[in-house]
Structure 1
Amino acid sequence: MSRSLQFRHCVHRGSSDGDVSSIVAAIRGDVCAPRPLPRAVDAVIVFRNVAHVIGPHRLAELWQVHRQEGRAEARDPRAFASFLAGEEVGRIYPALPDLARLDLGLFLAGMEDREPSIGACCLPADLIAGHPDLMLRLQPSFRYLSLIYPIHAWTPNGSEIPNAPAERPVLLRLAPDRLSAAGVVSRETLTPSRFAFECALARGHSFVAATKLARLQDPTFDGLAGIAALIDDGAIADVILHTNVSKLPKGDSYDNADAN
């Protein structure tokens, strides 16, 4: 079966031996070479806050053990957080897996520039009403995380990382900051209904299906208001009115290890 490729899909563009392209390739799948095994030095760069807590040498050792377990998912850096949870460091620092998820999410969100976004003029309410099964392709750089520990508020300034869970899950959206230099990532805490709505859209659900999932969290959730908020945030990269689900690409922006 033929496959349409675009240059931006190639993770090797502009890469060198000293970069961390193998991390990205291992997550997305490489279109021009076999999927690589990310190196320990890549892990130290990407999981920089984890390295701050346990030390770069210990992180590199754990990364090598994770890779050598023989499972196919060991090639996927998103599985590293779950691996840490089963290790001694995960018992000493129970928030460490969440910190690894946050590190990886921040890295991925900062890797890509925003694509041109859809404005309100291109997606009026009557168009949505006439196409309730429309699908929205969100910015590929946006990442969604559900964290058990309030690790999003921690900074590596000498303080200990949290060891008590938050009262409720911390629902984050990570995105390139539109008002800052390239690589700067903004963090926004979402309500449960908005998080459910945006994650459903990011996973390829239709507008109607995403709204239904959001209303499981809040029966008063307004899907049109949810789309308006996404437009204001520059989050919508494309609109698909007539869908063939079997031909849609699978997204990977929902970064909980259990969800991938």
Structure 2
Amino acid sequence: MRIDVVTIFPDYLAALDLSLVGKARQRGLLDLHVHDLRDWTTDRHRTVDDTPFGGGAGMVMRPDVWGRALDEVLGAGPPGDTPQAPPSHEPAPPRSPSGSTLVLPTPSGEVFTQRHAEDLATAEHLVFACGRYEGIDARVAEHYRAMGVDVRELSIGDYVLNGGEVAALVMIEAVGRLVPGMVGNPESLVEESHGAAGLLEYPVYTKPPRWYGIDVPEVLLSGHHARIDRWRRDEALRRTAGRRPEMIAALDGAALDRHDTALLAELGWTVSDDGRVVATPPIGDAPAE
């Protein structure tokens, strides 16, 4: 997989040289490049923003600068040196948009989930465009989407950051760890939170068996693998019901076994005749007087 990141703060992405992502780069599993957006400016001040049309606070990132950068990074622009065009230059339509996905981190985007990570992990080429200030001119997303580029406007949560770099780091790590060979033991991806089971991960423990008077659950020391598996499943259900009830409501009731349904009943959930998992009483309803 090739990943390109375009930003006005390339040093912000230095974390991509660390940990598993850094090792994946060294081993050639990730072909990862960070670019300075200002390399595509044409004035002596290396300007990337201007005042918003219609007035208002803040500055907006210019579409002409982003167009020159993305045409080249998406693999569509002419090879070699950055083209030296006047600031009014209109970017040429990408010649070969297929195979590339343009990711625009933005608080106004769709909330990024593990499902998005799994989807993006199948892409051949990801390009992250890290906005700043009040964001990137909306015509950038519109233009590349119209040209056939797979454009994703994604948010990592219901809050606002100073720029897209932190969000890009989050998404690159979430996607990168799904690339075959990046995580040493692929089985560790199966049972973790937000995986295929649709549950949060169960609590985990290691040595020593007693710490500050707190013992590791006895079942984990038993060596009885079936009991351990059942305990972990039960704890995942309990943790998810307590912390993320909407994930319990999204479960497929038909895929639950009798033990699952009995435990969920204790936790205040029932499986309806049509296979839906429903809170009793439903979430948000006041208890009966």
TM-score band w.r.t. shorter chain: under 0.3
Q: Which structure is larger by alpha-carbon Rg, 1 or 2? A: 2
Higher helix share: 1
**TM-score, structure 2 normalization:** 0.20
Identify, as 1 or 2, the structure richer in strand: 2
Which has the bigger relative contact order, CA under 8 A and spacing at least 6?
Answer: 1
